[in-house]
Amino acid sequence: MNKTIEFVVRSMLIGAGATMAMDVWAAVLRRFGVPSLNFAFLGRWIGHLPQGRWLHESIARTAPIRGELLIGWCAHYSIGITFAALLLATFGLEWARSPTLPPALFIGIVTVLAPLFILQPALGAGIASSKTPTPVFNSVKSLFTHTIFGVGLFLAARATASLIPAR
């Protein structure tokens, strides 16, 4: 397998696996009454981008779009795969062939910047959830969620390393 194909395949498998780990964490939190992002809102935000609407006062009060839940879930996994590609671009295929926790954890934690400073403000929640009733709780929850994503990157990379042997 050439390096480009290996990079793409590993990014997809590692990113999807890490995103699943994040989704399991979110499901556990929901069982304890802790809400998580409604992916329909992510899809709604994306659906309004072609009309030039990047920022919303409240995404919940913005007009729904057709297929927003599917769009949101597809975006969620695409973002996870993109972050896995960032991990591989930063630390290389050699890391993916023999993964260690620190690089994956580093990338996972760094990715918390995206929701805190891009998505939450765009959806109307403010920077680091500053416009919500519990901004510190929401920000800490985001940090823990992205830490779980980092652990998921490592575990998915380990699983992928066992499926795709080193060259």
**pLDDT tens-digit map of 38-72:** 999 999 999 999 999 999 999 999 999 999 999 99
Cα–Cα distances in Å, from 55 out to 11, 64, 129, 154? 30, 15, 14, 34
| Tokens 């480009």 sit on residue | 4
Closest alpha carbon to 5 in 107, 98, 100, 93: 93
- Sequence-ordered list of residues with C-beta below 8 angstroms from that of 67, at least 6 positions apart, any chain: 43, 47
Dihedrals phi, psi of 131, to nearest 5 degrees: -95, 10
Q: What average pLDDT score do residues 74-92 get?
A: 98
Dihedrals phi, psi of 143, to nearest 5 degrees: -60, -45
Judged against a pLDDT cut of 90, whether residue 37 lies above it is answered with no
Q: What average pLDDT score do residues 69-83 get?
A: 98
Prediction pTM value: 0.94
Judged against a pLDDT cut of 70, whether residue 167 lies above it is answered with no
**pLDDT tens-digit map of 99-155:** 999 999 999 999 999 999 999 999 999 999 999 999 999 999 999 999 999 999 999
Dihedrals phi, psi of 57, to nearest 5 degrees: -65, -40
